[in-house]
Structures are given as C-alpha cells and as structure tokens.
C-alpha cells in the first residue's frame, strides 16, 4: 500500500511539473488568456496559402489608393452591387472568401462577413485579422 501511494505521488508530481513547464514556457496558452483569433477570423499567412477571394471593405478612396492584388471592392452601403460582384467571382471559382478593412479595430469586415455567412451558407467566409495593416507589414 505505501508503494502505491508513492507511485501516485510521483505521477502527480510529474504531471504538475509538466503542466507548470508548459504554462511558463509558453507551449500552452494560459487558461484565462483570450484566444488569439476570434471566431471567423483568419491570419494573413493562412489566407495566402488558401488562394482566397479578397474583399476590400474600406472606402473607395482607400481602395483606389492601394489594395491586395485581385481584391474586389465591397461597399457595405451598396450591398446588392457588392453581392453581385462577389457572386460572379465565387460561382465561377468557389474559393474561401476573406474580407478586410483598414485595421484590426475596424469592425466593417466582421459585419460584412456575418451578413455574407447568412446570405451564402455554403461559402467559407473569414475576416482578416489585422486588416489592411497586416497586409502592409
């Protein structure tokens, strides 16, 4: 019986040591930490690998000043025209859709992504984490 208690104590000590090391070294996220990505977000590197359809949700002036190559301009105020433009591209070549706006604090891309998910339930739709700022880095 004493050897059984020693074995349990050894297993508990090794488990706690491993868990503490994972938390301290950064191998495991802290349980109370916020996740790096919100639901529906994607990192730039992941989006580039997927060969996506880019939707620029910034103003037309910002879009004309510069945008991601082959990105489509999507004006939230003119939803129907933006949706027709997107549908023409997506139906010809169904690929994931990534919407971006000016920066991480901009909520336009997230709003558009939510509306598009309701409109196109079969499409894979994301909001770019960091927005245009992430692309320029």
Residue ranges covered by each domain of the chain: 1-33, 41-136
CA 1 to chain centre: 53
Can you list the residues of the chain whose pLDDT is less than 70? 1, 22-23, 26-35
Name which of 73, 80, 120, 67 is nearest 96 in CA terms: 120
CA 119 to chain centre: 19
Q: What pLDDT shows up at residue 23?
A: 66
Q: Give the Cα separation of 76 and 109 in Å (integer).
A: 9
Three-class secondary structure of residue 55 per DSSP: strand
Q: What pLDDT shows up at residue 129?
A: 93
Check if the beta carbon of residue 71 is closer than 8 Å to that of residue 65.
no
For the segment(s) 41-136, the CATH number from 3.90.220.20, 3.40.718.10, 2.60.40.420, 3.40.250.10 is 3.40.250.10
């Amino acid at each position: 019986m004493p050897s059984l208690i020693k074995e349990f104590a050894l297993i508990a000590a090794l488990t706690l040591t491993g868990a503490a090391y994972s938390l301290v070294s950064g191998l495991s996220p802290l349980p109370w930490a916020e996740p790096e990505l919100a639901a529906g977000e994607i990192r730039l590197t992941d989006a580039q690998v997927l060969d996506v359809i880019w939707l620029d949700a910034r103003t037309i002036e910002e879009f004309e000043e510069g945008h991601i190559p082959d990105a489509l301009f999507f004006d939230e105020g003119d939803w129907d025209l933006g949706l027709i433009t997107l549908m023409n591209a997506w139906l010809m070549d169904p690929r994931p859709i990534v919407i971006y706006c000016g920066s991480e604090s901009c909520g336009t891309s997230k709003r558009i992504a939510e509306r598009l998910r309701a409109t196109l339930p079969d499409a894979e739709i994301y909001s770019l984490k960091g927005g245009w700022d992430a692309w320029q880095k």
